[in-house]
A and B are shown apart, each in its own frame.
Chain A
Amino acid sequence: MEDYFALLGFDRTFNIDLPALRQKYLQLSRLFHPDFHQDKSPEALKEIEEKSALFNKAWSCLKDDNSRLIHLIELHGIEWEKISLPPDFLMDMMELNEQIESQGKTEALIAEIMLRKSAHLQNALNQGKRYDAVQELPEKTQALRHAAEALLCLKYFDRLEKQN
């Protein structure tokens, strides 16, 4: 899989220097702008266009906390299917779903969903920060695994929010 950090010449970190990243992206985009390479052979031009598209993808992935964290998780070879959520979590989800079914979406339930959702999001971001703070690879991977768990939990709340 493509390492967007390496592609733009940055270290793998969760906290990233966004202004510097943006500058690098703009610089590379200018350099590889297809308009400036019309004199090249079709093969070379195609390569430049592909490179340019890749820089766009890298920038849109790395500029956002959530997708940058997901990219780190996947770069470290963590497989989403192999992550198991805390045992009590699904029980809680079942109960929340049942409460919504019996009472409808009361204001208290909406508030609870929002509160718990933001707690999981915060947890994911904190694990990203921990990833930067720890030195050894196993610790880094562990932080990302916890981040992945938190992101999976979030998906259940996305569904609760959409549900009527």
Chain B
Amino acid sequence: MAYSDKVIDHYNNPRNVGTLDKSKNEVGTGLVGAPECGDVMRLQIEVDPETHVIKDARFKTFGCGSAIASSSLATEWLKGKTVDQALEIDNMDIVEELALPPVKIHCSVLAEDAIRAAINDYRVKNGLDPIEDNNRIH
């Protein structure tokens, strides 16, 4: 299976790798895993409490090239979006952008799950109810 140029680019130059201070109220942390392959992904957002705009996003993924590229792309897309806009990011957008083959679609699902988990962590920290998940937490 050949990776697309975009996947290779994100894999070789991952954007926004790192950590944000998870003890801060403005920071939401999402931690998800894919038992099928043992991949783990941490994705964090830092939100402006006034405007609800995501100021910064960081990730760290231990997994295959597609999982790394999916989360790297996700952090790029998250920056500058409001939390509500971020919720609209669909895993199929990631699939399309990175030209992921069908066997790698679960990597984009993992990235979407990580986004939702980070947003929910931020919401709960700030006294809001978590957004309902589609039972894909694992």
Contact = CB atoms under 8 A, between A and B. Distances in A.
Contacts of B62: 94, 97, 101, 163
B102 interface: no
B91 to A, nearest CB: 15
B136 interface: yes
Contacts of A94: 31, 40, 42, 60, 62
Nearest to B39: A159
Given A82-B135, A155-B38, 9 more contacts: A80-B35, A81-B138, A84-B137, A94-B31, A94-B40, A94-B42, A152-B35, A156-B40, A157-B38
B28 interface: no
Interface stretch (A9-17, A69-77, A85-93): A85-93
Interface string B44-86: 0000000000000000101000000000000000000000000
B38 A160 contact: yes
Query: Looking at chain A, what size class is its interface with the partner chain?
Result: 20 to 34
A83 interface: yes
Interface of B: 31-33, 35-40, 42, 60, 62, 135-138
A94 B37 CA distance: 14
A158 interface: yes
Nearest to A101: B62
Nearest to A157: B38
A94 B136 CA distance: 19
B33 A93 contact: yes
B57 to A, nearest CB: 17
A163 B89 CA distance: 31
A84 B60 CA distance: 21
A156 B38 CA distance: 4
Nearest to A158: B38
Contacts of B33: 85, 90, 93, 156
Given A81-B135, A85-B138, A97-B62, A91 B31 contact: yes
Nearest to B117: A90
Nearest to A162: B38
